[in-house]
Chain A
Amino acid sequence: MPKSEKAIVRLCGVSKTYGATKALTEVDFACFGGEIHAILGENGAGKSTLMKLVSGVIQPTAGHIEIDGAEAQLAGPADAISRGLICMFQELSLVPDLTVRENLMLGAPGIGLGRLDGDVVARAQDILTKIDGGDIRMKTRVSDLSLAERQQVEIAKALSRNPRLLILDEATSALNASVVEKVFHLIRAERDRGVGVLFISHRFHEIEALADTISIFRNGTHVETFSNGAYDYGAIISKMVGQRIDDLFPPKPAPDPDAAEVLRLEGFGWADSLHDVSIVLRKGQITGLGGLDGQGQGDVLQGLFGLLKGTRGQCLMGGAPVAIKNPRMAKSPQLGIALIPEDRKTEGLILDQSIARNLELAALGVNTINATDPAIYQPFLDALELKCDSLDQPVSQLSGGNQQKVALTKWLALGPRCMLLADPTRGIDVKTKTQIYALLRRLADSGVAILLLSTDYEELIHLCDETHIFYNGRITRHLAGADITAENIIAASLNIPSAEPANGGSAHA
């Protein structure tokens, strides 16, 4: 079925503000039936806000929304669902304490608060089978499912509700390629029978494979809409970023194999998830930890910061064995270890408190530092160009990038000897990334040993002096110097023995 004439949903001059923050500014946008419409933009560009508006989770501050050509107020998700606007959210909309079956029925059209019936479950189960989710048992609690299984359930839940407009926000981020292909097959089938699809993904090749139309958003504005194929990657990226950033990474200095050792792990292990890990961190070096998600890299960082009980093996600092029992001990001037945790919103920062309060929290317990003196934070805030009204502003009002700057500065003020970073640039705009990269390199130059866990190959390749790749709780490969290539990293991540220089084209995932 060809693209429909009349837009299913049309945004007319829509703006959305949160307090002083403008999430969307005067956006005109339309999506049609029979069309897969991809939305591209960096984090903070307004994609998720757009999705929430269309699915009724939030209401516009200004402008209006038209549905099937008539102006409409979406009172809430229930209203949107009853009009056939079905959204699959990035932060999943599954209830952890309910079973798969119960989640599929929750809020399904026709059920509401009334009697539950199993029709929708049968439909969903059918869909699950088509996307390799046939093994997921209906009576399992969602909290016991893996992230990938939850995404499969979420997809089945959305499709089983007979959408007219299907909204997918990073719907496949945890799924492997073959499942993704099956999901795409279903989505194309939906399009072919006249359903409109709004699709957000960070994976370029997915968008290339799936989208009919692409819209680019930047800083809360709608930049351009065009047909898939009208521009090449480079052009699309520069539209997303707004300016070209040539030197994303600072230059790497020549390796110094004689640099003093700061920390050494020998035969480190923990429970069933980590085995026989040996790593040496040296002064002035950035050491990378790579691999697929959850292969044990995170446990190394947590173990070094005293978060794991019953670790095996030895940890030596300056040649002497140390047992790090908790974060308080890790941050003491004797050890000087700092951890930037993976989830800055729940682990790295206290969102409801002011920037100043957040900055002081780590330094407060250290006797050698006057935590309440703003001067100890200022150099780092300047280097990272933190944008805020004042230090009394609550952290929750900052953008993701600026939040991460606060999380970093809080630890930098302690003058750590060893910094552990868990994917510090995840979900952060390009400009902030370059600032963080530059700062990390400068820290290394000043003698700090840095251990960087990253899911971004580019960081491992261009920022790290050496890299350990993890698979199934073990280090499968140690790469240094010119050996740190995309091909080697991918091969090691998948635990494929071959490390022959291959002509990689799929290097970027």
Chain B
Amino acid sequence: MRDFLQSNKREASAFVVLAVLLSLYLWSHPIGPTTYVMTIWANQCLILALAAMAQFFAVIVRGIDLSVGAVMALTNCIASYLVIGSGVEMAFGVVVVIAAGIGCGVLNGVLVVYGRIQPIVATLATASLFVGLALLLRPTPGGQIDYDLADAMTLDILGMPTALIMTAAVILLIWVPLRRTGLGLGLYAVGSSEQAAFQSGMPVAKIRLASFAMGGLFAGLAGLYFSFVTTTGDAGIGPNFTLNSIAAVVLGGVALRGGVGTLTGAIAGAFILKTIGALMFFSGLPPLAQPFIEGLILAGAIAIGGADILRIKNRLEAFGR
């Protein structure tokens, strides 16, 4: 346990912060901790959490994905055409949406791995492409998602918000098993030291490609879940999610230099970010001050994380970070 806390210090503190923020939120909320309040909160959190998971898979292999929001927009627009009708039609629609997400991730991965373009620039360009495709589908917001399905995904099961159940499902059914495979290990190895991973006999190119594909998968899921919450398609939703997904992974203890952090940390980061926003809404602060305070908290949190640099005694150590 001590080992675990030691090596996951940043995730652990992220969870503590989240717990404090959530209690504050539920305490300050005029209605109180009802299922309804929890559900609204959890839905908003899960959208960003899925986006943060997408970002996580890019960052963990020492990349960054500026197309997360664009993939969400594209998949959201696709969903607004296909996730409606009979059960079979909807199932087909969901499969197409997810496949589209993975396809976007694979394109990013191919450009990075085989095109040798730096991830930040490659995804900057593909973001434009994806948004264009989304606009092609929905020049103006519109379309519809099956209400029953949307309700099922965004309400609660026996008082437990569905969004929280799905978050747990992602962790238990995807992350935990993945962590027990060579692929899961390889993600960290490639991000931490590509050279060492290569010399140890890991297929570096395949791993990086797979990581971007998984990033696409989660961005697609984020777009799909966004569709369930809003029940329409909108090509303009991207930019905020891209930047917030980066902020979320950083808050969740994932190092932008790669190789350090966990998917659960990224999820916690997203939940923290959304909870701060929600807290602000009921805090009695003037609404106009909220964006500023949000920014201030983000900058403050990051600065505190970086402040231990001031304690180092050998000036050269600063460069290793």
Chain B residue nearest to A116 (CB atoms) is B180
Q: Which residues of B contact A270 (CB under 8 A)?
A: 313
User: When the two chains form their complex, are residues B200 and A106 in contact, meaning their CB atoms are under 8 A apart?
Assistant: yes
Q: In whole angstroms, what is the CA distance A99 to B8 when docked?
A: 12
Q: In whole angstroms, what is the CA distance A113 to B190 when docked?
A: 13
Chain B CB within 8 A of A95 CB: yes
Q: Which residues of A contact B260 (CB under 8 A)?
A: 97
User: When the two chains form their complex, are residues A106 and B313 in contact, meaning their CB atoms are under 8 A apart?
Assistant: no
List residues of A (357-389) whose CB comes within 8 Å of B's CBs: none
**A interface: dominant SS:** loop
Contact of A93 among B199, B203, B207 (CB under 8 A): B199
User: When the two chains form their complex, are residues A107 and B202 in contact, meaning their CB atoms are under 8 A apart?
Assistant: yes
Q: In whole angstroms, what is the CA distance A306 to B207 when docked?
A: 43
User: When the two chains form their complex, are residues A92 and B196 in contact, meaning their CB atoms are under 8 A apart?
Assistant: yes
B144-187 vs A, CB cutoff 8 Å, 1 = contact: the mask equals 00000000000000000000000000000000000011110110
List residues of B (301-321) whose CB comes within 8 Å of A's CBs: 312-316
List residues of A (52-86) whose CB comes within 8 Å of B's CBs: 55, 57, 76-78, 80-82
Binds B, one of A14-22, A135-143, A472-480: A135-143
Q: Which residues of A contact B182 (CB under 8 A)?
A: 105-107, 111-116
Minimum C-beta distance from A330 to chain B (A): 12
Binds B, one of A176-184, A236-244, A250-258, A307-315: A307-315
Chain B residue nearest to A110 (CB atoms) is B182
User: When the two chains form their complex, are residues A77 and B186 in contact, meaning their CB atoms are under 8 A apart?
Assistant: no
Contact of A77 with B199 at beta-carbon distance under 8 Å, contacts A95-B259, A113-B183 already known: yes
Residues of B within 8 A of A (CB): 3-4, 7, 180-183, 185-186, 188-189, 191-193, 195-203, 206-207, 259-260, 312-316
Interface size class of A (residues with CB under 8 A): 35 or more
Chain B CB within 8 A of A87 CB: yes
User: When the two chains form their complex, are residues A95 and B193 in contact, meaning their CB atoms are under 8 A apart?
Assistant: yes
User: When the two chains form their complex, are residues A116 and B196 in contact, meaning their CB atoms are under 8 A apart?
Assistant: no
Contact of A77 among B4, B189, B200 (CB under 8 A): B200
Q: In whole angstroms, what is the CA distance A55 to B193 when docked?
A: 18
Contact of A115 with B315 at beta-carbon distance under 8 Å, contacts A91-B195, A98-B188, A106-B202 already known: no
Contact of A115 among B181, B259, B312, B313 (CB under 8 A): B181
Chain B residue nearest to A78 (CB atoms) is B201
User: When the two chains form their complex, are residues A310 and B313 in contact, meaning their CB atoms are under 8 A apart?
Assistant: yes
User: When the two chains form their complex, are residues B196 and A95 in contact, meaning their CB atoms are under 8 A apart?
Assistant: yes
What are 17 A-B contacts with C-beta separation under 8 Å? A55-B199, A78-B201, A93-B196, A93-B200, A95-B188, A95-B192, A95-B196, A111-B182, A113-B186, A115-B180, A116-B185, A139-B7, A271-B313, A302-B314, A306-B315, A308-B313, A326-B315
Q: Which residues of A contact B203 (CB under 8 A)?
A: 76, 78, 112-113
